[in-house]
Every structure is written in C-alpha cells, then in structure tokens.
Amino acid sequence: MSALSSALPDFPWDLLEPAKAIAAGYPGGIVDLSVGTPVDPVPASVRQALADASDSPGYPLTAGTPRLRAAIAGWLARECRASGELGVLPTIGSKELVAWLPTLLGVGPGDVVVIPSVCYPTYEVGVRLAGAEVIRADSLTAIGPDRRVKLIWINSPSNPTGKVLPVEHLRKVVDWARERGVTVVSDECYVSLGWDTTPVSVLADEVTGGDYTGVLAVHSLSKRSNLAGYRAGFVAGDPALVGELLAVRKHAGMIVPAPVQAAMVAALTDETHVAQQRARYASRRDTLRSALVKAGFEISFSEAGLYLWATRDEDCWVTVDRLARRGILAAPGAFYGPAAARHVRIALTASDERVAAAADRLAEPLTD
Ligand SMILES: Cc1ncc(COP(=O)(O)O)c(C=O)c1O
C-alpha cells in the first residue's frame, strides 16, 4: 500500500504559522486577512429552513430533493442566464468536488489536466489524487497540441487574483475544448461578487447557446450566503457528465445532508441576503483598497471576488513579514503558483472593526 498523501503537495498554511505568531503579538491583536472564511451571520431564513428540516431520520437523495434541484435550475436560469436543459447535482461544499472531480470523471495516469497558472491549490490536489499530470496555462496557445489533455479548469472570478474572464474568452475555451473532446470545468464560486465588472457564467446563453456538451460549472453557497460551515455547493451543466458524477457519488456515499439541502433551497430562492452581504464586502474592500494603495501597494486585477491581489514588487514573504509586524496576516502569492511570488492575497472576510484596525495600521510606515 502506498500512502496517497505522499502524492500531494505540502500543506502550505503551516508555513504561515511564524507570521501568524508575530501578528498575534501586536497590541490590539491580529487582523487575519489570510483566509477567505466568512465571518458574518448565516441569514435567518436559511437557519430557519435548516432547523425546520432537522427531523430527518432517513437517508437523503444524492441527486438532491426535487425542490432543491428546481431551486438550483431556477437560480442558474435567473442569475446565470442558463436557459437550456441542465444536469444539476448538489455537493458537500465545492472543495470536495474540486478535489475528486478528475477521479470521478475517470481521468487517470497518462492524462493531463490544465489549471490556471495562478490558482486555488485544490485543482492540483485533484489532479494528483487522480494520478494524472498538471499543466499550468492561461492561454490555449500555451497548452499546444497535447492530445493527452482531458480536462481544463477555469476559475472566474479567480481566487486569488480577482480576474474575470470575458465572454469571448469563455467561448473560445468552450469551442477549443469541444473540438478536442476535452471537458471544461468552470469554478464560479465568486460569481455573485463582481465589483468593477459583472462576471459571466460559462453556462450563460451568450457562451454556450444553451448547449452544455462537455461543460460543467461548479458553484458554492459558502461565500454568497455565508454557508461555509454548512458545506453547500453544486455542479451543473452537461446532463451526461452530471449523470456520470451522480452514478459514482451514489455508490460512494457523497450525499448532502437533508437539513442542508433544505437550507440550500432557502438560500437559492432569496437574493436579498446576497445583496446585503455584497454591500458589507464592498465597504470593506473600499477601506482596505485605499489603505493599501496609500501604503505603497499596487492592486492587480481584483475586479471581482473576495480578495485584493496586492504587490509591493518584492518577494511575497517579505511583504507577509512586514504586514505581520503591523499585526496583519496576509496569504503569500507563492501558495497559488510559481508565477505569483511577488503578490500577497488580502481577504475581505473580516469584521468591519478588524478591517478598520488594518487600515489604521497600514497608515503607519511599513518599514523593515
Ligand atoms: C476558487 C475556489 N473554489 C472552491 C472553493 C471551495 O469552497 P467551498 O468548499 O466552501 O464551497 C474555494 C474556497 O475558498 C475557492 O476559493
């Protein structure tokens, strides 16, 4: 038996512990902007739906209840302009799906999966779990004529950069993949958080024309509805691919708990709480953005999503260290790919009080 964990990269967050300890020692305490974990309340209507469904003695449906399936399809039609016949499937948050999708779709040794050059680390984890090979590339020309490519991940809005892929780019990726029989998977868990531009789903009619062959979109309620603790996500798109995922997940027991399924229906049929949460993040983003710019940072991309992608044009660990000595913890760009070693990622997920404290601290010179 070989340890599967040995195929995986080192868990990078351990490397941040020394900076965390320095930041924690700052008078007034740490402002932790390193992780994108929601801090605001779960909407009352969602908590009520969870409580109302708490008497759930039987096994839930892997495919999701008819109400949940209808809520997902309705949300995709309304919010993502996806008007065709979609396959939909709830997932236990989206991270597990990202980590297991290549395996669940039969990608394996000898196959190649393309991931963005700077990206959420779990795409690579999933490829390694499947025993396949990773290529990091942002353009189709950079991929070249490699016939071993089976799957391509895109992520718009991007974690960590906040970059948004325009409709023409999405269309080109879909056309390119269809010509080659490659599956396109678009991680869209920040789609509700556009600031300077409105993100477009790969499932939108202007991208696919209602034909989802070879295309999947991955969504999460963690950020839009503060449901990271519930583990609530879904995948949608090509009915044949979704059917394949369902067939394997049923056998493997990858089932969303019934009370969480009920809570998801409440979250997906209400956009008021999403607008309220967006407003909170917009205000924190303005405060942090102007404080960072005044402190000499340049902000790259960051047109959508939950992060500011910032640089002082120095090694990311030097920046992490400087910020830690002001009591602020940021994530080093190096966590997201070799091309990101001069950026840090600043999350908007801290209370208004902590964000104001960060802004005050950034007003002091960031000397060595
Ligand atoms: C790009 C991206 N995809 C997926 C996830 C997983 O989110 P969850 O498992 O909470 O749905 C995250 C979490 O930060 C993310 O940034």
Tens digits of residue pLDDT in 137-174:
999 998 888 899 999 999 999 999 999 999 999 999 99
Nearest ligand 1 atom to alpha carbon 96: 9
Ligand 1, CB within 6 Å, residue ranges = 36, 93-95, 98, 120, 155, 159, 187, 189, 220, 222, 228, 233
Query: Does the pLDDT value for residue 71 go beyond 80?
Result: yes
> Residue 10: what pLDDT?
80
Give the CA angle between residues 347, 352, 358 to the nearest 5°. 60
Q: What is the pTM of this model?
A: 0.97
> Residue 368: what pLDDT?
66
Omega cis (within 30) before 160: yes
Distance 220 CA to ligand 1 centre (A): 7
Q: Which class would CATH give 4-41+273-362?
A: alpha beta
Could you tell me where the DSSP H helices lie in 295-365? 316-324, 352-362
Domain segments of the chain as ranges: 4-41+273-362, 58-270
Query: Does the pLDDT value for residue 366 go beyond 80?
Result: no
What gap in Å lies between CA 72 and CA 234, rounded to an integer? 8
Q: Where does the pLDDT of residue 26 fall: very low under 50, low under 70, confident under 90, or very high at 90 and above?
A: very high
Distance 95 CA to ligand 1 centre (A): 5
Q: Does domain 58-270 match CATH 3.40.50.300?
A: no
Q: What is the mean pLDDT of the segment spanning 89-94?
A: 98
